[in-house]
Amino acid sequence: MSDRNSKLLARFQKCLEEEEKNDVKDHEQEARISKTVFWSEMRDIIAVNALSSGLDILDDVAKVLIDDTGRAAQALSGPVTILTHSSKQSASTGATPHPSFTSPARKRSVPTKPAKGSTSKKQTASVSPKTNPVASGTPLITFPLAMGLPEEFVRDLESIFRHVAAVNLNVWQRAYPWANQHLFYDPVEDPDVYLGHWRFWHNCRAAFFEWALHAPLRTDSDKVQRRKRKGNAVHQRLVFISLCIETWGYYNFLRRIEAPGNGTLMWWGGQTGNTTEEAKGYSCTPIQNLYKLFQKDKAAYQRKIHDAIKPFQIDKGGFTTITEMLEQTEALNSALVEYEKRLSDKALARVAMDLTSWHFVPDHWVPSDDVWKTLCNHDRIKPIQIKLTVQLVRAAHRTSVQLEGVQARLLALDGRRR
């Protein structure tokens, strides 16, 4: 065999090996996505009771197993309690009495005949299914509701939970569904974004619902805990949005999420209460206490109750665009704590890159002058912006060279055929 043919054969063999590697990589990526989808469906099943605890620990274990790092045992960092749906749980009848401490009166057998003054109908009524806690609507509310509220108000709240319990769902699963919803990206092309999105949505949607409903709680401690859960949800949203901007760039992310039908799987709520300083600068509607709506605005109250059982409706009146959300929550303020109050440094640098580029974009994509000028001139963000710009230019150049090489090979092959 000539040297020329040997070289061609070697190149051909190398191409085959590269294709085989790509096939293996594609297979691994598909397996990763399949495992993620499986865990998504499994978590919906085991999270039917809000009193279950430690599900975030199971999320960590699942992530380690999906990533195949071999450290699943170490990820199990605490106890996990999984409870069935509240409709399947029976009321406690107390502990079984010990015979040593049972009074003689209780040891006597139950008479076979009913006592005087009682009827079999009365006994039947006491165990009738109509008085069964589940059938009669045992309160399914998953948070400690304030005491002394009007019966009508409590009944309306219970109807929300009873309505979704009838179809074996939690209220937040109905208000913020995941299954069969349209993503604004391809999970095969961007598996890391998909995994981050899934974790954010499933870990936080109970907090989304509780904050949007804003029912009156029993104690100040309960209110503090609700604010903490909402704060964690805002934190997780910043982490996810940062990941999206780092992956695609700011304008490309906005283009994706604002395409028709693409914005449902984003949390547009999280506004502060209408009595806070932050709410004064809102262009959206601040959060209002549900009981105050009941007292002062019955029409708005009824809308909130009805929207609570409709997918993606309870946050109506919240933020309408990503830029509005980021600006009014100060997530573009580089002086704040990363992820806790604002986007990551890398995400802010990508935002600054697009804001200073020559792109014609919708006006609502650009924040107010003071905000974007402060961001683009920040001493910590500017060096990161320059570094990312160089990296993107080099990546674009490599892609261009590769495309030119492919075109040249195609032209050469076409010339040989002729």
User: What is the predicted pLDDT for the residue at 274?
Assistant: 80
Q: 3-state SS of 185-252?
A: CCCCCCHHHHHHHHHHHHHHHHHHHHHHHCCCECCHHHHHHHHHHHHHHHHHHHHHHHHHHHHHCHHH
Average pLDDT, the chain: 80
What distance in Å separates the CA atoms of residue 268 and residue 329, rounded to the nearest whole number?
12
* 8-18: pLDDT as tens digits: 566 666 766 77
In the predicted model, what is the mean pLDDT of residues 223-235?
96
Confidence of residue 150 (pLDDT cuts 50, 70, 90): very high
Q: Which range is least confidently modeled, 36-45, 171-180, 224-233, 328-337? A: 36-45
| Between 319 and 133, the higher pLDDT residue | 319
Q: What angle do CA 266, 187, 197 make, to 5 degrees?
A: 35
Does position 324 have pLDDT exceeding 60, yes or no? yes
Confidence of residue 41 (pLDDT cuts 50, 70, 90): confident
Which sequence spans correspond to the domains of the chain?
Answer: 1-80, 137-344
**Residue 56 corresponds to which tokens in the numbers above?**
């975030």
> Among residues 363, 271, 360, which one has the least CA distance to residue 323?
363
DSSP assignment of 91-135, as one string? PP--PPPPGGG--HHHHSPPPSSPPTT--HHHHHHHT-GGG-TTT
- Cβ–Cβ contacts within 10 Å for residue 48, how many? 19
In the predicted model, what is the mean pLDDT of residues 113-120?
41
Confidence of residue 418 (pLDDT cuts 50, 70, 90): low
Confidence of residue 175 (pLDDT cuts 50, 70, 90): very high
User: What is the predicted pLDDT for the residue at 64?
Assistant: 80
Does position 235 have pLDDT exceeding 80, yes or no? yes
Does position 242 have pLDDT exceeding 80, yes or no? yes
Does position 415 have pLDDT exceeding 90, yes or no? no
User: What is the predicted pLDDT for the residue at 284?
Assistant: 87
- Cβ–Cβ contacts within 10 Å for residue 369, how many? 8
Residue located via tokens 């006006």: 363
Best mean pLDDT range from 14-18, 117-121, 162-166, 292-296: 292-296
In the predicted model, what is the mean pLDDT of residues 245-272?
96
What distance in Å separates the CA atoms of residue 394 and residue 400, rounded to the nearest whole number?
10
User: What is the predicted pLDDT for the residue at 122?
Assistant: 36
| Between 43 and 284, the higher pLDDT residue | 284
User: What is the predicted pLDDT for the residue at 117?
Assistant: 40
User: What is the predicted pLDDT for the residue at 57?
Assistant: 83
What distance in Å separates the CA atoms of residue 104 and residue 99, rounded to the nearest whole number?
10
- 3-state secondary structure (DSSP) of residue 262: coil
Non-local CB neighbours of 147 within 8 Å, separated by 6+ positions:
218
For the entire predicted model, the pTM comes to 0.67
Non-local CB neighbours of 78 within 8 Å, separated by 6+ positions:
54, 57
* 159-171: pLDDT as tens digits: 999 989 888 899 9
User: What is the predicted pLDDT for the residue at 405?
Assistant: 56
In the predicted model, what is the mean pLDDT of residues 26-47?
75
How many percent of the chain have pLDDT more than 90? 50
User: What is the predicted pLDDT for the residue at 407?
Assistant: 59
Confidence of residue 106 (pLDDT cuts 50, 70, 90): very low
User: What is the predicted pLDDT for the residue at 276?
Assistant: 82
What distance in Å separates the CA atoms of residue 116 and residue 94, rounded to the nearest whole number?
28
